[in-house]
Amino acid sequence: MNQSIQRIAWRLMLTLALVCGLTFMAGCPSGDCNCNGDGGNGEKLVDVAVEMPTPMFTGTPPILENMKVRVDTKNPETKRAPLQAPADVQVVSRGKPVTSSDDFPMIGDLPLVTDGDKEANEGSYVELAPGKQWVQIDLGEKYEIWGIFLWHYHTSARVYRDTIVQLSDDPEFAQGIITVFNNDHDNSSELGVGEDFEYFDEHVGKLIRVQSKTGRYIRCYSNGNTDNDQNHYVEVEVWGRPAP
Ligand SMILES: [Ca+2]
Ligand SMILES: [Ca+2]
Through-space distance between the first and last CA atoms of the chain, rounded to whole angstroms: 56
Alpha-carbon span 91 to 116, nearest angstrom? 10
pLDDT digits (tens, 9 = 90+) for 189-235: 999 999 999 999 999 999 999 999 999 999 999 999 999 999 999 99
Q: Output the CATH code of domain 47-242.
A: 2.60.120.260
CA of 90 to the centre of ligand 1 (A): 17
How far does the centroid of ligand 1 lie from the alpha carbon of residue 29, in Å? 37
8 Å CB contact between 34 and 40: no
Q: What is the pLDDT of residue 73?
A: 86
CA of 79 to the centre of ligand 2 (A): 25
Question: What is the tens place of the pLDDT at every residue in 122-143?
Answer: 999 999 999 999 999 999 999 9
CA of 165 to the centre of ligand 1 (A): 18
Please check the confidence at residue 16 and state whether its pLDDT lies above 50. no
For residue 131, which ligand has an atom nearest its CA?
2
Give the count of alpha carbons within 13 A of 89, CB side only. Answer: 28
Q: For the chain, what percent of residues have pLDDT higher than 70?
A: 83
pLDDT tens, position by position, 54-63: 998 777 777 7
Task: Give residue 234's pLDDT.
Answer: 98
Q: How far is the CA of 87 from the centre of ligand 1 (A)?
A: 25
Compute, in angstroms, the gap from residue 115 CA to the centroid of ligand 1. Answer: 5
229 CA distance to ligand 2 centroid (A)? 13
Could you list which residues have their CB under 5 Å from ion ligand 1? 112, 115, 117, 235
For the chain, domain boundaries: 2-31, 47-242
Mean pLDDT of the chain: 87
4 pLDDT higher than 80: no
Q: What is the pLDDT of residues 71-87, one digit of tens each?
A: 998 999 999 999 999 99
Indicate the pTM of the whole model: 0.83
Cα of 20 from ligand 2 centre, angstroms: 45
Could you list the beta-strand ranges (E) of the chain: 46-47, 84-85, 90-91, 98-100, 126-128, 132-151, 164-168, 178-182, 206-223, 231-233, 235-242
Least confident of 1-10, 21-30, 109-118, 161-170: 21-30
Q: CA-CA distances (angstroms) from residue 209 to 18, 234, 244?
A: 32, 19, 19
Q: Which tops the pLDDT comparison, 4 or 198? A: 198
> Would you say how long the chain is, in residues?
244
**Ligand 2 centroid from CA 161, angstroms:** 6
Ligand 2: centre distance to CA 44 (Å): 38
List, as one string, the DSSP characters of 173-227.
Answer: -SSS-EEEEE--TT-TTSS----SPB-B--TT-EEEEEEEEEEEEEEEEEE-BSS
Q: How far is the CA of 47 from the centre of ligand 1 (A)?
A: 23
Between residues 172 and 41, the one the model is more confident about: 172
Does the pLDDT at position 13 exceed 50?
A: yes
What pLDDT is attached to residue 138? 98
pLDDT at 28 over 90: no
Q: What whole-number distance in Å separates Cα of residue 80 and Cα of residue 105?
A: 32
Please tell me the predicted confidence (pLDDT) of residue 42: 85
Q: What distance in angstroms lies between residue 67's CA and the mean position of ligand 1's atoms?
A: 27
Cβ-defined contacts of 84-87 (< 8 Å, 24+): 84/33, 84/34, 84/38, 84/45, 84/46, 84/47, 84/48, 85/45, 85/46, 85/48, 85/146, 85/147, 85/239, 86/39, 86/43, 86/44, 86/45, 86/46, 86/146, 86/241, 87/44, 87/46
pLDDT band at 165 (very low <50, low <70, confident <90, very high): very high
